[in-house]
Amino acid sequence: MNEENLLRQRHRAGVEKPALAVPYTAKDFQLEVLGKLSEMQDMAGLLEKSWRDEIKGIREQRLLKFDSRTLVALGAIALSVSGYVIQDAQYGAAGQRD
């Protein structure tokens, strides 16, 4: 009865008897590890998505965006250069014949 009185006094004072310790089993460990693995998988997925978005942004900044006017200008330059090369080749060949 002495123990019973002590428990009543503790209960009245707001001090409760500590809960009985539950043994930590292998199943508890497995569930804990699976929970942490799930967290890591979620984090890895977020990091992968972030990395893809970052690379996509870098690629978009690096690519030169040509509009139609730029392509026409580059084509005109290429034709001019090829014209000079062909003309020089014809004059060079004619000069060697003489």
Per-residue pLDDT of 35-69, as tens digits, reads 999 999 999 999 999 999 998 888 877 666 667 88
| Integer Rg of the chain from CA | 41
pLDDT at residue 12 tops 70: no
pLDDT of residue 36: 94
CA distance linking residue 54 with residue 86, whole number of Å: 47
CA atoms within 13 A on the CB side of 40: 6
Q: Is the dihedral of CA 77, 83, 89, 92 positive or negative?
A: negative
pTM listed for this prediction: 0.40
User: What would the two tokens of residue 9 be?
Assistant: 């006094």
Q: Which has the higher per-residue pLDDT, 13 or 74?
A: 74
Confidence of residue 83 (pLDDT cuts 50, 70, 90): confident
Q: What is the spatial distance between Cα 89 and Cα 95, in angstroms, rounded to a whole number?
A: 10
